[in-house]
Structure 1
Amino acid sequence: MAVIHPRIHWGAREVDWTWVPETTDEITGVARRMAAEAMGVLGFVFFAGAAIIVNSKVSEGGLGLLGMAAATGVAYALMVYMFHPVSGGHLNPAVTLGELAARRMPPSIAALYIAAQAGGAVLGALMLEVVFRDFVGDASGAAALTFADKMTGWTGALFEGILTFVLVVAYIRAFVVGRGGNIALGAVTLGLIVSAAFLVAFPLTGAALNLSRVFGTALVANEWTDFGWYALGMLGGAVAGFVYEYVFQAPEEISAHDSHERAAEERPAEA
């Protein structure tokens, strides 16, 4: 009886859907990627949260919506640019889900990425507590994101999902379809999307587009309001991955995928 193992594009090679690192070099490589993801999310959560705290608690509105949007977008672009050469610069569970849905990452590695992103987000929220302890008693709470009072859960989740979909499609176009392209240009593109989303969505949903960012401040501040809706919005990333797989993917790539799956079906099961 044949065992089906769909093939996954993982970096410059193809592996089974069930692939896990086995050799020392593979384990070390995955550890480096996880560290990069954690550090990148740490930096993003800190700078994005700092922009909100400075505006609301330090400068009394001095930054304004435009200033916070610019700071958040620039921070995301810089973190992606810095860590893309190591981990791909996901820095967002939605991006990781998108690559998983597009069959560009094994599930085991996707789970490790998301865990690293969550850990980095918590460290970033803790750093906010340390740096701003003299300005606000609960810095992570001040930086926590929630929906506006008039924004219902389903509507907010849909809005977050749409914005997340756009961000992940842009990532895939820049760094998956356009693999080997200009990293700086791709990072700037993502930063601009984050800034634009912030301008239109911050007053309504907080413009998260990134569940790890919500998780870090929620855990440290114990503020879980609307967290479930943010998690639902993250599914926009998975939808983006499916769209890439069936819309953006070149016909020759689709044929290659199909041939790999047929070969897998014909492969005899291992004892």
Structure 2
Amino acid sequence: MRTDMARRLGAELVGTALLVLFGAGSVVATLTVGKGELTYPGLGFISLAFAIVVALVIYVFGPVSGAHINPAVTIALAVTRRFPWVEVVPYVVAQLAGAVIGGLLVVATFGTHAVDLGLGATSLGNGVPYWQGMVAEALGTFLLLLAVMGLAVDARAPLGWAGLMIGLAVALEILLIGPQTGGSVNPARTFGPYLTLSMFGGDVAWSQFGVYVVGPLVGGIVAVLLYDLLAPTRPVQRPAMEDSYSPGDPGSAMSAPPETSVGPAEAG
């Protein structure tokens, strides 16, 4: 069991590192090409980069750890007993550590020039008040967790679509709230670049970090509770050979570790 837990935590660490490297890293790349300016079309390509890396991580690591790669996802699933509370802290620690590694890899890729460009760190847009940033992050995470519930947890979901559609949900929320907050919807995605910037002496908006913690947690929890109210899920025992990427409740790997599942290991 310890070996299995280590494997799952490793998957969360690597998955979150990839998210920050290719997600936040795409912000640095866009600013590099745009000579420090970020246009809305540029934001579109950033959202696409996030969508692709999220989808890939879900398809690769979903059967291992559930590919939460986001403390808001882990905690929201725990609130509805789809993930054991005793494993929440280890998962979140692995996600935060992976995000920092991802930030360091961005620096390794672009050099300290990436620090000068902000390392893809999220911050409130000009004139956006703290409370409005929280609302934006809550709404973006609400959309993300609805996608998780409907496509990776619910047994009625079409098989094989979870990774793609969850990735597209991330892209969609960035297109809407990106100008307001950067579209983080993930405390780890914000924490990694923040801490890395601090290591290299960059400017860090730590005072805004609460936006990227409170907003995603509230939005994620509201989404899973509302989904259970409007479209309650049910556990389903699927044939072992049907599809290793078949969503289930609570047997989904997005929801619970393999050893506690009622069905085959599944992704999300």
Q: TM-score, normalising length from structure 2? A: 0.78
Structure 2 match to 1:227? 209
TM-fit CA distance, 1:104: 0.7
TM-fit CA distance, 1:251: 7.5
Structure 2 match to 1:54? 29
C-alpha contact (below 8 Å) 2:151/2:157 kept by paired residues: no
Question: What aligned pairs does 1:1-271 form with structure 2 within 5 A after superposition?
Answer: 26-60=1-35, 64-133=42-111, 136=113, 138=115, 141-178=118-155, 182-183=159-160, 185-222=161-198, 223=204, 224-235=206-217, 236-250=219-233
In the aligned structure 1, how far is the partner of 2:61 from the partner of 2:17?
12
C-alpha contact (below 8 Å) 2:174/2:182 kept by paired residues: yes
Unaligned runs of 5+ in 1: 1-25, 258-271
RMSD: 2.3
1:222-249 deviations in whole A, cap 9, x for unaligned? 2214101111112211222322343332
State the 4+ residue runs in structure 1 displaced beyond 4 angstroms. 250-253
- Counting helix residues as a fraction of each chain, which structure ranks higher? 1
TM-fit CA distance, 1:147: 0.5
TM-fit CA distance, 1:115: 0.9
C-alpha contact (below 8 Å) 2:31/2:117 kept by paired residues: no
Aligned length: 227
Unaligned runs of 5+ in 2: 199-203, 237-249, 251-268
In the aligned structure 2, how far is the partner of 1:245 from the partner of 1:101?
12
For residue 148 of structure 2, give the secondary structure of its aligned residue in structure 1: helix
In the aligned structure 2, how far is the partner of 1:64 from the partner of 1:252?
42
1:62-112 deviations in whole A, cap 9, x for unaligned? 971221111121111111111101011111111111110111111111221
1:97-154 deviations in whole A, cap 9, x for unaligned? 11101111111112211111101001000111111106x1516833111011211111
Task: Return the letter of the residue paired with 1:237.
Answer: G
Q: Answer with 1 or 2: which has the greater Rg.
A: 1
In the aligned structure 1, how far is the partner of 2:58 from the partner of 2:235?
29
In the aligned structure 2, how far is the partner of 1:179 from the partner of 1:250?
8
Change over 3 Å in CA distance of 1:41–1:179 after alignment to 2: farther
Task: Return the letter of the residue paired with 2:21.
Answer: F
Change over 3 Å in CA distance of 1:88–1:113 after alignment to 2: same
In the aligned structure 2, how far is the partner of 1:139 from the partner of 1:118?
22
C-alpha contact (below 8 Å) 1:38/1:121 kept by paired residues: yes
C-alpha contact (below 8 Å) 1:102/1:244 kept by paired residues: no
Structure 1 match to 2:240? none
Change over 3 Å in CA distance of 1:210–1:252 after alignment to 2: closer
Structure 1 match to 2:241? none
Q: TM-score, normalising length from structure 1? A: 0.77
Task: Return the letter of the residue paired with 2:229.
Answer: Y
C-alpha contact (below 8 Å) 2:121/2:194 kept by paired residues: yes
In the aligned structure 2, how far is the partner of 1:241 from the partner of 1:137?
36
For residue 111 of structure 2, give the secondary structure of its aligned residue in structure 1: coil
